[in-house]
Structure 1
Amino acid sequence: MKISQRIAASRPLATTAMHGRVEDFRNKSMGIIDFSIAISHFSPPASVLDAVARAMQDERTMPYTGVAGALDVRRSLCGKLERENGLAAQPNEVIVTNGAKQALYQALYAMTDPGDRVLIFKPHWPAYVTTCQLLGLEPVLVDLPDTVTPAFLADCPQADLVIVNNPHNPTGKVYTRTELEHLCAWVHARGAQVIVDESYEHLSFGPVHTSFATLCDWRALGVVTIFSASQSYAMMGWRLGFALAPGAIASAMQTLQGPITAACSHLAQVATAAAFDSGPQQHMIDEYRARRDQVLRQVADVPWLDMHCPDSGPYLWGDVRSLSSDTVAFAEDLLAEEGVAIMPGDALGVPGFIRIGYICDDVDTLVEGVRRLVAFGDRLLEQRAAA
């Protein structure tokens, strides 16, 4: 039996691996509070469920479509791009994918060759680095500053492609228009292509989200923008996403998708169009803001935890370096002793920090999980003081 060297040298994605462990515990009836990933407690929009129900009554509900997606679906997504993002696009520049991860993999595959350098700002979504490694690319990690300036960018190393995550996972940063203009000028001067992950575009708690592609000639520069329905529409398990790309890149992504999955299921495409046509879900954003503030109140006086207040997204990013820099061990002990799963910052490129997904389950479970986290950290602090 042979296992290829390229996969033998790889490791499972940290976020999905931790979530898999939690599922194993739950299957054994072990009560675990899972903060390691963001799984919304909301249901998908009613318009999505209605659209899928109607499609299921249609005698043509299960046709094969073109690999990039049904034409009417891609036309609908072009309408979303113009309406919400200020981007005029043609259907042949849109490809519907099984979630943002597939769009990312195919874009990186289509835009790079083995050995190319990919600039990634950290902390980062783990899939960026893992996908680069699978494709034989060289991830170049740079600390994301509070504010992106020309001086910061001038010190960044040369790269063939840059990944921009806006709004940002896990910090919740929403790039300002000025910051994006600096980035646009910099990549243009460096001749680098860009993948922009805008999966959380509808989860801002105030700051205005600007699509990077509106600030440049995205076709000439080589900009791929990725969108996801997972968090914005509480459709995590539906695996819905799409990408906007210059025609040649979209065609190349389609060439790769064809032998892997072909088109997404027709029902998923119907759901994708309905979700993005429904616009931002303000009731979800309001609830997430309330949950964010609840957690921040609970940890405000915790001496070993500095919890950043995010401007967007389903995660909280906390600094625990005064207690421990080994957040892998911290997460393992917390899971074993308190039954609470978190994501260690090491998995996102920054040891000494933890990521908490705070949108799962009911509020009482959220409060209890944070209470257990604080109790664990307090106990660890006492033990170290005694030692």
Structure 2
Amino acid sequence: MHVSKRIAAARPLATTAMHERVDLLKLQGEEVIDFSIAISHFPAPESVRAAVRAAVEEPLLPYTAVGGAVPLRAKLAAKLVDENHITAEGHHVIVTNGAKQALYQSLYVMTDPGDTVIVMRPHWPAYVATSQLLGLDIVLVDQPDVVDAAFLDRLPRAKVLIVNNPHNPTGKVYTQAELRHIRDWLRARGSHCIVDESYEKLIFDGEHHSLAACADWEKLGIVTIFSASQSYAMMGWRAGFACAPATWVKAMEALQGPITAAVPALTQVAAEAAFAVGDVPELLADYRVRCDLVVRMFEPVPWIAIAAPDSGPYLWGDITGLTLDTVAFAETLIEEFRVAIMPGEALGCPGFIRIGYIADDEATLRRGVEAIIALGNRLAARGAERPAARVPG
């Protein structure tokens, strides 16, 4: 059966593919510990659940405007002003089915096939996969510890720079100085920027600042993406939105209309309640305890370097001293130990592993980490081979 050229080369995201594999094993009666993605053991906020329960009892759930109900967009714009210091109004907001839809629609209206997009690695796999679907020229660059003018000056000409702040998987939180350098670079180059701020509430150290918190954000062409999935433990709710220049929001609505139309009314109710919550101190404190536990467990292990991140639900481990083939490491781990992790190849960095540590209970978390250590110790004792690094992308 013929498949169009547009999709023939596309492959399922490694992140979702591994999670689906875990689900299949569980359906077969297997006990699997899933560190491959971050699924919180916390429930969605009670205010969200209460709002949705009330909405279900209403006699009608009507269609809304494609970009989202007007009152919701106004409230999200107020959140942007109050929390992110972005000068936005309702017409700058479009409500989407999570961050992925916001990313796709943003890139779709900002670029044409053949345009260059810069993605810093390690990266969320959707940045590359979406760019490939849209026929863009992807330039992968290694994210430095500090983003400064010298780093940015070395970047090639590009239509769009994608920034993830806070960052998945390293947990990097961009400083105000770094964001100023990026804004200066955008002004000098005439490039635009997509900033994924989905993890804005999950910061352990430092403070979150939005790139678009400047008077000329709309002229610069900065799109900022938000999601309730991680910040409010709402993975399955698919509630997200984007803040973008008004012209691009209209274009994104034109794209969304024939595909999904508006986000489901219940999801919009959930989004309104979620983004009204603000900070999540109880969730954040729990995550920090878990994060510190895993870091301490790995501290005496010689073949892995893993540091406590400044933010986020992931730990990023360097096992290049053991092996560069982390796909094989992950395969052995799930086949023999029934523990799933995400190999660094999926995020553009062979020799690294990503561990989502926020699911299940503490005992299960410990068992999963012990399995990773056991496999690594076994390979180290045997003198693990170090194959040539695979080409990312």
Q: TM-score range by the shorter chain?
A: over 0.9
What residue in structure 1 maps to residue 21 of structure 2? Answer: 21
What residue in structure 1 maps to residue 345 of structure 2? Answer: 346
Indicate the RMSD between aligned Cα atoms, in angstroms.
1.2
What residue in structure 1 maps to residue 289 of structure 2? Answer: 290
What residue in structure 1 maps to residue 249 of structure 2? Answer: 250
Structure 2 unaligned regions, length at least 5:
386-393
Q: Aligned equivalents of 1:34 and 1:385: distance in 2?
A: 24
Deviations 1:91-123 (CA, angstroms, capped at 9, x unpaired): 111000000000000000010000000011110
Q: Percent identity?
A: 59
Q: Indicate whether 1:161 and 2:163 are aligned.
A: no
Q: Is the 8 A contact 1:334 1:340 kept in 2?
A: yes
Bigger mean CA deviation after superposition, 230-239 or 152-161? 152-161
What residue in structure 2 maps to residue 101 of structure 1? Answer: 100
Q: Which runs of 4+ in 1 moved over 3 A?
A: none
Q: Aligned equivalents of 1:347 and 1:227: distance in 2?
A: 23
Q: Is the 8 A contact 2:86 2:214 kept in 1?
A: no
Matched AA of 1:36: S
Structure 1 segment 146-295 matched on structure 2, within 5 A: 146-215=145-214, 217-295=216-294
Structure 1 unaligned regions, length at least 5:
none
* Secondary structure of the corresponding residue to residue 375 of structure 2: helix
Quote how far apart the aligned CAs of 1:214 are: 0.5
TM-score by length of 1: 0.98
Matched AA of 1:320: I
Q: Indicate whether 1:59 and 2:80 are aligned.
A: no
* Secondary structure of the corresponding residue to residue 29 of structure 1: coil
Quote how far apart the aligned CAs of 1:338 are: 0.9
Quote how far apart the aligned CAs of 1:165 are: 0.4
Matched AA of 1:245: A
Matched AA of 2:62: P
Matched AA of 1:172: G
Quote how far apart the aligned CAs of 1:215 are: 3.1
TM-score by length of 2: 0.97
Quote how far apart the aligned CAs of 1:292 are: 0.3
* Secondary structure of the corresponding residue to residue 303 of structure 1: coil
Bigger mean CA deviation after superposition, 121-130 or 86-95? 86-95
Deviations 1:237-272 (CA, angstroms, capped at 9, x unpaired): 000100001100000011000011000111100100
* Secondary structure of the corresponding residue to residue 36 of structure 1: coil
Quote how far apart the aligned CAs of 1:160 are: 0.8
Q: Aligned equivalents of 1:280 and 1:46: distance in 2?
A: 14
Matched AA of 2:361: D
What residue in structure 1 maps to residue 391 of structure 2? Answer: none
Q: Indicate whether 1:45 and 2:45 are aligned.
A: yes
Q: Aligned equivalents of 1:218 and 1:59: distance in 2?
A: 41
Matched AA of 1:215: C
Quote how far apart the aligned CAs of 1:385 are: 7.1
* Secondary structure of the corresponding residue to residue 227 of structure 1: strand
* Secondary structure of the corresponding residue to residue 77 of structure 1: helix
The verdict on how the C-alpha distance between 1:216 and 1:124 changes in structure 2, with shifts beyond 3 A counting, is farther
